[in-house]
């Protein structure tokens, strides 16, 4: 059995094989009925959609009740509710398997691995997305303006680095450098708990680096929107000591400096480009 990049779960029972392929940027499910003589010429194919898992449907319903648009931060009770749901989610709930070809080691390549993503559901208030990162792939340092984001590492091992801006604003003119506080700089291994970032706290500016092939579920409320001035900005970070003697900077102790860094806004780097595939895994029921 072969499943290409972005494919979902494979199952085999009683000579009935459910296969998923990434064909022309679409994830397709199909049933193949094989006779014992393995005569593929007489193969019958039929497209099927898996039943939506209860936890995925519960996540969707809760998101419709909780998110209220740009700048809205869910109260702690609702944040805990969503975390409880997402913490329970397994790769199988969105059609993923560790046995997929995407997650297997491949030969060396001469280019930076590309990140692939798929959207399970999106509306004006929120979106549910999955990001697939091959080994060593990077989602570069970027922000989430006016957004609350729940992230769940479903498969693999990932290094996450994140910052929040230091307020009041401390910068070094005329450069674009601005002071930020390091919130996370660790390696996480699935399964692990859901992480949450807020419009101004919790590590709103973060970077993902795949130590092994990874899959990450993101719940964004609201989603990115250029039309609503909620576009993504990218940054390059520098140690606090690199510019600590220039301009007017906040007076901090040596211990505090270890948790500070300078961020410079940059144009979208090459590794910010992603490949999109359509999601045809377990389908959410909108009129539940």
Indicate whether 24 belongs to any domain.
Answer: no
User: By residue range, what is the domain housing residue 158?
Assistant: 54-102+113-276
Q: Give the model's pLDDT for residue 37.
A: 46
Q: Give the model's pLDDT for residue 241.
A: 85
Indicate whether 40 belongs to any domain.
Answer: no
Average pLDDT, the chain: 80
Cβ burial, residue 181 (10 Å; 0-12/13-18/19+): middle
Give the chain as a DSSP string.
----TT----EEETTEEEEEEEETTEEEEEEEE--TT--GGG-EEE---PPPPHHHHHHHHHHHHH--STT----HHHHHHHHHHHHH--GGGGT--TTSGGGS-----SSPPPEEEEEEEE-SS-EEEEEEE-TT-EEEEE--TT-EEEEEEEESEEEEEEEEE-SS--EETTTTEEEEEEEEEEEEESS---EEE-SSSS-SEEEEEESS-EEEEEEEES--BTTTTB---EEEEEEGGGSTTSSS-----HHHHTTEEEEEEEPPPGGG-EEE-B--SSPP-S--
Question: The tokens of 120 are what?
Answer: 């399970």
Rounded Cα–Cα distance for residues 129 and 220 (Å): 8
Calculate helix-pair angle for 54-66, 76-88, nearest 10 degrees. Answer: 160
pLDDT in tens, 236-269: 999 998 886 544 445 666 667 779 999 999 999 9
Indicate whether 212 belongs to any domain.
Answer: yes
Indicate whether 76 belongs to any domain.
Answer: yes
Q: What is the pTM of this model?
A: 0.79
Question: The tokens of 241 are what?
Answer: 């000591």
pLDDT in tens, 157-169: 999 999 999 988 8
- Per-residue buried b or exposed e for 147-156, using 16+ beta carbons within 10 Å of the residue's own CB: bbbbbbbbbb
Candidates 226, 228, 255, 227; CA nearest to 240 is 255
Rounded Cα–Cα distance for residues 232 and 116 (Å): 17
Candidates 92, 72, 117, 6; CA nearest to 222 is 72
Q: Report, as an integer, the average pLDDT of 273-285.
A: 90
Indicate whether 43 belongs to any domain.
Answer: no
Q: Give the model's pLDDT for residue 71.
A: 79
Indicate whether 140 belongs to any domain.
Answer: yes
Indicate whether 234 belongs to any domain.
Answer: yes
Q: How many domains, in total, are found in the chain?
A: 1
pLDDT-derived band of residue 48, with 50, 70 and 90 as boundaries? Answer: low
pLDDT in tens, 126-144: 999 999 999 999 999 999 9
Indicate whether 71 belongs to any domain.
Answer: yes
Q: What is the CATH number of the domain that holds 253?
A: 2.60.120.10
pLDDT in tens, 78-98: 999 999 999 999 999 999 876
């Amino acid at each position: 059995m072969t499943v290409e990049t972005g494919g979902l779960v494979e199952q085999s029972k009683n000579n009935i094989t459910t296969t998923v392929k990434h064909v022309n940027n679409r994830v397709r499910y199909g049933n193949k009925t094989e006779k014992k003589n393995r005569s593929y010429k007489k193969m019958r194919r039929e497209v099927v959609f898996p039943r939506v898992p209860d936890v995925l449907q519960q996540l969707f319903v809760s998101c419709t009740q909780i998110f209220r648009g740009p700048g809205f931060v869910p109260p702690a009770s609702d944040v805990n509710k969503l975390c409880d749901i997402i913490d329970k989610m397994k790769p199988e709930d969105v059609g993923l398997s560790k046995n997929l070809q995407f997650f297997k080691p491949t030969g060396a390549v001469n280019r930076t691995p590309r990140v692939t993503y798929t959207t399970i559901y999106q509306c004006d208030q929120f979106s549910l997305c999955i990001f697939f990162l091959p080994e060593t792939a990077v989602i570069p340092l970027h922000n989430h303006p006016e957004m609350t984001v729940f992230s769940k590492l479903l498969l693999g091992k990932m290094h996450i680095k994140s910052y929040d801006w230091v307020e009041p604003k401390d910068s070094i003119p005329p450069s674009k450098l601005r002071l930020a506080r390091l919130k996370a700089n660790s390696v996480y291994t699935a399964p692990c708990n859901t992480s949450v970032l807020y419009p101004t706290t919790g590590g709103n500016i973060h970077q993902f680096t795949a130590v092994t092939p990874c899959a990450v579920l993101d719940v964004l409320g609201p989603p990115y929107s250029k039309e609503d001035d909620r576009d993504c900005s990218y940054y390059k970070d520098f140690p606090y000591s690199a510019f600590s003697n220039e301009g007017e900077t906040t007076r901090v102790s040596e211990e505090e400096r270890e948790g500070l860094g300078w961020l410079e806004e940059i144009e979208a780097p090459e590794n910010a480009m992603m490949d999109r595939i359509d999601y045809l895994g377990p389908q959410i029921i909108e009129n539940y």
